[in-house]
Amino acid sequence: MREGYDHVASLDAEHELAIEDPSGLEYKGSQPGSGRRMTLNMGPQHPSTHGVLRVVLELDGETILSARPEIGYLHTGIEKQCEAKKYQQVVPLTDRVDYLANLNNNLCYALAVEKLLGLEIPEMAQWMRVLLCELTRVASHLIWLGTHALDIGAMTVYFYCFREREEILKIFEMFSGQRMMTSYIRPGGLALEPPRGWHKAITRVVERLQSGVDEYQELLAGNPIWVNRTKGVGMLPVDIMIDLGVTGPMLRAAGVNIDARKDSPHSSYDKFQFDVPTRTANDVYARFEVRMEEMRQSIRMVRQALDGMPSGPWHADAPHILLPDREKMKTQMEALIYHFKIVTEGYRVPAGSVYQVVESPRGELGYYVVSDGTANPHRVFMRTPSFGNLQSLGAMLEGVLIADSIAVMGSMDFVLGDVDR
């Protein structure tokens, strides 16, 4: 019994005496260990699930005996739709899988298709991809931080995070015309030429992000309520986490150094200097620390990209794959023909299969693309990090209090679109 609740207990005791009856059906209250179990549906519409997730909780008092996540409420059959589309038409669908990390999804799909095509991407396009993907990582982590803090009760951080994220979204809008569903990274390079003044705009945002991240760290890390709610909560032995398919910041907070950017280099990531932050505490607070540090590392990489951006073309020399720009299309016969052919029949991709991995803000994002030699992908399997991470929820919630389950779910940072696809 917590301090300050003694009067409630005494009231309870009186109440129990009052309703005692000779039938033997004794009222035992709802204290833990009283043996009265209760099944509670958390969701599908619950603010802390950040989407439509239903968790069936078996409760003893306030303690969770077992938790069973039920998913599929957001299943939209994206993988089936991919099979009906041409290769270039799949790109907008990948935005909608993980709608907080759309550019990482674009990148993963583009890399998979480029690997099947055997296409070399110019260095400038690769660096631009890294720059934008790292900005996406910061934007996604800002959403995680804001909503996670809001769930635990710190409202101010939410507004700060969304203010900063808006600045990043303005950059995306500048590049692609879209704030969230950018479809900017495509097989063959980028969708459009980087806009005039991008360097200045990003430099300005990066300055602000750097001070912002330090500010939020101070806001929360020294806050006793935050520390009490997150330290020592949501722990799970690391071998079980690996067994259950957990990846990304959650696994790094458990001390496993795993990061697809280092382990299977792609897109010039090997030319950037960055550290993979790890912690060993393996609780909600450690995941907070890892993600905060990741934001700093991403900002560091964005700075490197700003300083060392190579010059050169922003797309591969592959007119049969990437749409020509409008000006050329209207003045050159070949460009018009290529445009017509790509739009009407697409491009054929040699038969084969490839499993391409990138590091999304949530963990290992993999696209398994199978081609049968036609212009439509035969199969696109999306190995999404949220799906693997969410599978550990049941094990992680066993024996914790309901209030802590909110902190645990927030620390997992899943996106239901990413889980259900």
- List residues near another protein by CB under 8 A: 71-72, 75, 77, 79-81, 83-84, 115-116, 239-240, 242-245, 256, 258, 263-264, 352-355, 357, 364, 366, 368, 370, 378-379, 381, 383, 387-388, 391, 420-421
Q: How far is the CB of 152 from another protein (least distance, A)?
A: 28
CA 153 vs. chain centroid, Å, equals 22
CA 334 vs. chain centroid, Å, equals 41
For residue 59, what are the contacts with CB-CB under 8 A and spacing of at least 6?
Answer: 37, 38, 39, 40, 65, 402
C-beta of residue 335 within 8 angstroms of C-beta of residue 328 = yes
Q: How far is the CB of 293 from another protein (least distance, A)?
A: 21
Q: How far is the CB of 258 from another protein (least distance, A)?
A: 7
111 vs 143 by CB, closer to another protein: 111
Return d(Cα 32, Cα 68) in angstroms, integer.
20
29 vs 265 by CB, closer to another protein: 265
277 vs 388 by CB, closer to another protein: 388
Q: How far is the CB of 196 from another protein (least distance, A)?
A: 37
Return d(Cα 66, Cα 129) in angstroms, integer.
42
Residue 122 CB coordination number (10 Å) = 18
- DSSP per residue over 289-343, as a string? HHHHHHHHHHHHHHHHHHHHPPPS-SB-S-TTTSPPPHHHHHH-HHHHHHHHHHH
Return d(Cα 41, Cα 45) in angstroms, integer.
10
Return d(Cα 33, Cα 171) in angstroms, integer.
54
49 vs 230 by CB, closer to another protein: 49
Return d(Cα 121, Cα 130) in angstroms, integer.
13
Q: How far is the CB of 65 from another protein (least distance, A)?
A: 18
Burial of 127 (0-12, 13-18, 19+ CB in 10 A): buried
94 vs 147 by CB, closer to another protein: 94
60 vs 83 by CB, closer to another protein: 83
Q: Which two tokens stand for residue 34?
A: 């009283």
Q: How far is the CB of 123 from another protein (least distance, A)?
A: 20
194 vs 277 by CB, closer to another protein: 277
27 vs 381 by CB, closer to another protein: 381
Q: What is the 3-state secondary structure (H, E, C) of 206-243?
A: HHHHHHHHHHHHHHHHCCHHHHHHHCCCCCCCHHHHHH
Q: How far is the CB of 98 from another protein (least distance, A)?
A: 15
162 vs 355 by CB, closer to another protein: 355
Q: How far is the CB of 395 from another protein (least distance, A)?
A: 8
For the four alpha carbons of 176, 167, 124 and 370, in that order, the dihedral sign comes to: negative
Peptide bond into 44 cis (omega under 30): yes
Q: How far is the CB of 365 from another protein (least distance, A)?
A: 10
For residue 397, give the nearest of 383, 410, 385 by alpha carbon: 410
16 vs 239 by CB, closer to another protein: 239
C-beta of residue 126 within 8 angstroms of C-beta of residue 268 = yes
Q: How far is the CB of 321 from another protein (least distance, A)?
A: 16
